[in-house]
Chains A and B, each alone.
Chain A
């Protein structure tokens, strides 16, 4: 009886190890196939030349590919999204984590915000295409309403839930006795937020936005539908362009040979970029967690 349960326990442990090993294998396999797949492009153009030039010429015989336009497109849309999301996510975080902390209305608002995160990307894309784009168009921003700004705006809505709920948690972590200390000296609520909660939660909030940025970088579907899909370096917010994810989504179907390898190389670069951004966010968050 006893020994049987010990054996079961051992088997269960082994199973867990197998599952863990499998995940690591899958990740390693993905990195491997990305690296080998992009080998063609990198060996033809060189890593730095591929990364920092903006040509995208699929004409047979004079094929030439570079990632720069798409890297810029990705960074531009993501930072526009990040900037636009702050004025919405910070108030939500303050509402749920500070002013109405622990109340029903705060948890309702939190749930509604989290619901935004559950809406599929394609639905955002549709909304952006049929509702937002005509508005942008009527304002005369961007060609037919497509472009960096339109894509960035929809991206901003998509990352609000991540930024808001994470930074709300950091507001919640600010110890009550510090806030009471400030109140006991005659501070108003706003003064407590400004001088105590924001400085205390600041690093964590920063990390929340870094992680939100990480999500924006790789977001594909909605962006592909709204950015206009042109291959040059975008010249401004109203310009059309492509992100690394959207060019892959647009062109992988009919690509082969050097072009396919270039697209895979773009995928590898995107993977590295998001991995680095996420790593930075997580490192900051870990440091904050240790302090609290």
Chain B
């Protein structure tokens, strides 16, 4: 009854656990269905495992030694653990805490970085088209169309972050993972990113990790509250913010800890 607006599942967590130290789970047995064309916010105090959970989706943990991920994560029904990690990362785009455009590449090349990195050759006309449409999607086209050949690092922080989003969506991912994408930005730039997320969810599904309760309330459709590695509550944002079921969720939303 409550899932009338948002119906299809794009991503499914089945008993997902992540540990940095053997025997101690930083993320403990998460089960949840993430809905398509929705913004799902993961909230919780520092160290609760929200970024860790997010990074399990695109298998970033495999870049570092000693981190183990167990359970299953299904992206559109396919188990990502069975896929090749490069393929998973093309299907799940990521936006990081700090804007990280590649300093050695121009704005133009940054948008196309995913293609260049994966060795995909494109015609000049295809490149121009992708660059323009992605930069339009993130509302950056008008601001940078005269300076496409300048280095991406000359842009302001907020512009850099939008460039990173353009870079992520250029690969047409199934899902967009945002790891506290506004924590390094000022309120105006933050607002732009939030508006952008609301636009982008029409095309993509978005999971956003955020420290900012107000941000989750403003833009998310669904909210997860994590505490000490556990998923305490997962509910429609409106319901969670007005009527949290768990005492810990209520305390967190009221600013009792965090």
Question: A interface vs B, CB < 8 Å?
Answer: 175, 177-178, 180-188, 191-192, 195-196, 199-200
Contacts and interface: CB of A to CB of B under 8 A. Distances in A.
B96 A181 contact: yes
Interface in B46-80: 58, 60, 63
20 contacts: A175-B100, A177-B100, A180-B60, A181-B164, A183-B60, A183-B63, A184-B58, A184-B60, A185-B93, A185-B114, A185-B118, A185-B171, A186-B86, A186-B88, A186-B89, A186-B90, A186-B171, A187-B117, A196-B104, A200-B103
A182 B117 contact: yes
B192 interface: no
A188 B164 CA distance: 19
Contacts of A184: 58, 60, 89, 93-94, 96, 168
Interface in B92-106: 93-94, 96, 98, 100, 102-104
Contacts of A187: 86, 117-118
A147 to B, nearest CB: 41
B167 interface: yes
A288 to B, nearest CB: 12
Contact of A180 (B87, B96, B113, B168): B96
Contacts of A182: 102, 113, 117
A250 to B, nearest CB: 47
B119 interface: yes
B209 to A, nearest CB: 14
Contacts of A180: 60, 63, 96, 100
Contacts, number: 66
A267 B93 CA distance: 60
A188 B118 CA distance: 8
Contacts of B90: 185-186
Contacts of A178: 100, 102-103
A49 B104 CA distance: 45
A181 B102 contact: yes
Interface in B156-187: 164, 167-168, 171
Contacts of A185: 89-90, 93, 113-114, 117-118, 167-168, 171
Contacts of B94: 181, 184
A181 B100 contact: yes
A101 to B, nearest CB: 11
B150 interface: no
A200 B104 contact: yes
A183 B63 CA distance: 9
A212 B183 CA distance: 43
Identify the 10 closest CB pairs spanning chains A and B, nearest first: A187-B117, A184-B94, A186-B90, A185-B114, A199-B104, A186-B89, A186-B86, A181-B100, A177-B100, A191-B117
A103 to B, nearest CB: 8
Given A178-B102, A184-B93, A191-B117, 16 more contacts: A177-B96, A180-B96, A181-B96, A181-B164, A184-B89, A184-B94, A185-B90, A185-B114, A185-B117, A185-B171, A186-B87, A186-B171, A191-B119, A195-B116, A196-B102, A196-B104
